């Protein structure tokens, strides 16, 4: 099973593709960050997010996509910008007809790190361990996207086990 995680942002959008392989272990297929300079007009940045995610989907062919659910932001301007970037990402997913799953930041951190209030460096380190990434750790936004995919693979497996036992 191949899952793509997305960590949307108007300046940095992280993505990560994870596959469940033999024995239930997980493997990172691809990950990275789409950078959209704040100096560029918002429509141009949203288009770049859309195009970048489209290329990732076409290249790695995930079966489903996971994104963080909306959270409360203290700054309205930041929340609006994040919402627009998230909208561009979700539109791209819909364009491919892929199923979309959403988890809260707390659920993703809990699944990936075991602690719902983990910081970015803890997520990076644990994702590196869980996915056997040797050497350089993924950038924080890519690690968050990989963590979303890992969260879904763990949750999907549990949900499948629960429904098949009844």
Our answer to whether residue 7 is catalytic in this structure is: yes
Which residue is listed with tokens 């993924």?
138
The DSSP line for 82-117 is HHHHHHHHHHHHHHTT--EEEE-HHHHHHHHHS-TT
Our answer to whether residue 68 is catalytic in this structure is: yes
Beta strand pairing call for 26-35 and 12-20: antiparallel
Q: By C-alpha distance, which of 104, 118, 10, 7 is closest to 130?
A: 118
Which residue of the set 55, 95, 141, 144 is catalytic?
141
Give, in order, the Cα–Cα distances in Å from 150 to each of 44, 128, 146, 166.
31, 12, 6, 25
Q: Is 3 helix (H, G, I), strand (E, B) or coil?
A: strand
User: What ranges make up the beta strands (E) of the chain?
Assistant: 2-7, 12-20, 26-35, 64-68, 100-103
Which residue of the set 68, 95, 119, 144 is catalytic?
68
**Which positions are annotated as active-site residues?**
7, 68, 141
């Amino acid at each position: 099973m191949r899952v793509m995680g997305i960590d949307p942002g108007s300046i940095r959008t992280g993505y990560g593709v994870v596959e469940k392989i033999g024995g239930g272990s997980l493997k990172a297929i691809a990950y990275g960050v789409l950078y959209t300079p704040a100096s560029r007009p918002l429509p141009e940045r949203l288009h770049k997010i859309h195009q970048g995610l489209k290329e990732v989907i076409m290249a790695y062919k995930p079966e489903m996509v996971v994104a963080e659910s909306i959270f409360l932001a203290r700054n309205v301007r930041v929340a609006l910008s994040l919402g627009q970037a998230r909208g561009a990402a979700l539109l791209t997913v819909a364009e491919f007809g892929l199923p979309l799953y959403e988890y809260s930041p707390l659920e993703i951190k809990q699944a990936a790190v075991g602690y719902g209030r983990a910081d970015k460096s803890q997520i990076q380190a644990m994702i590196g361990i869980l996915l056997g990434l040797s050497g350089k750790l993924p950038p924080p936004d890519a690690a968050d996207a990989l963590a979303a995919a890992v969260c879904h693979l763990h949750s999907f497996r549990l949900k499948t086990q629960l429904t098949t036992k009844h």
